[in-house]
Structure 1
Amino acid sequence: MKKVLLLLAKGFESFEASVFIDVIGWNLVDGDKTTKLYTCGFTKEVTGAFGVKLNVDYLINEIDINEFEALAIPGGFEEYGFYEEAYHPEFLELIRQFNQKDKIITSICVGALPIAKSGVLNERKATTYNHKKSVRQKQLEELGAIVQNSPIVIDKNIITSWSPATAIGVALLLLKMLTTEENSNHIKGLMGF
Structure 2
Amino acid sequence: MKTKKVLLLLSNGFEAYEASVFTDVLGWNKQKGDGCTEVITCGGREKLKCTWNFTVIPEMLLSEVDLNMFDALAIPGGFEEAGFYTDAFSDEFLSVIREFDRANKIIASICVGALPVGRSGVLKGRKGTTYHLNNGYRQDQLASYGVEIVDQLMVIDKNIITSSCPSTALNVAFTLLEMLTSLENCYKVKHLMGFNKEGLTNE
Percent identical among aligned pairs is: 53
Q: Residue 127 of structure 1: which of 115, 129, 134 is its match?
A: 129
Structure 2 residue ranges without an equivalent (≥5): 196-203
Structure 1 residue ranges without an equivalent (≥5): none
- TM-score, structure 2 normalization: 0.94
Q: Residue 114 of structure 1: which of 109, 113, 116 is its match?
A: 116
1:85 aligns with 87
2:159 aligns with 157
- Matched to 1:18, the amino acid is S
Give how far 1:45 is off.
1.6
Q: Which SS does the other structure have where 2:135 is aligned?
A: coil
Supply the distance in 1 between the matched residues of 2:117 and 2:33 (Cα, whole angstroms).
29
Give CA deviations for 1:80-101 in whole Å, capped at 9, x if unaligned.
0000000000000000000000
Give how far 1:191 is off.
1.1
- Matched to 1:192, the amino acid is G
Task: Detail structure 1 runs of 4+ shifted over 2 Å in the superposition.
Answer: none
- Matched to 2:193, the amino acid is M
- Matched to 2:4, the amino acid is K
- Matched to 2:104, the amino acid is D
- Matched to 1:7, the amino acid is L
- TM-score, structure 1 normalization: 0.99
Give how far 1:44 is off.
2.1
Supply the distance in 1 between the matched residues of 2:193 and 2:133 (Cα, whole angstroms).
27
Q: Which SS does the other structure have where 1:116 is aligned?
A: helix
Q: Residue 100 of structure 2: which of 98, 105, 113 is its match?
A: 98
When structure 1 is superposed on structure 2, of 48-57 and 11-20 the one drifting more is: 48-57
2:8 aligns with 6
Q: How does 1:137-156 map to 2 (within 5 A)?
A: 137-156=139-158
Supply the distance in 2 between the matched residues of 1:73 and 1:145 (Cα, whole angstroms).
18
1:175 aligns with 177
1:192 aligns with 194
Give how far 1:134 is off.
2.1
- Matched to 2:23, the amino acid is I
Q: How does 1:47-66 map to 2 (within 5 A)?
A: 47-66=49-68
- Matched to 1:30, the amino acid is K
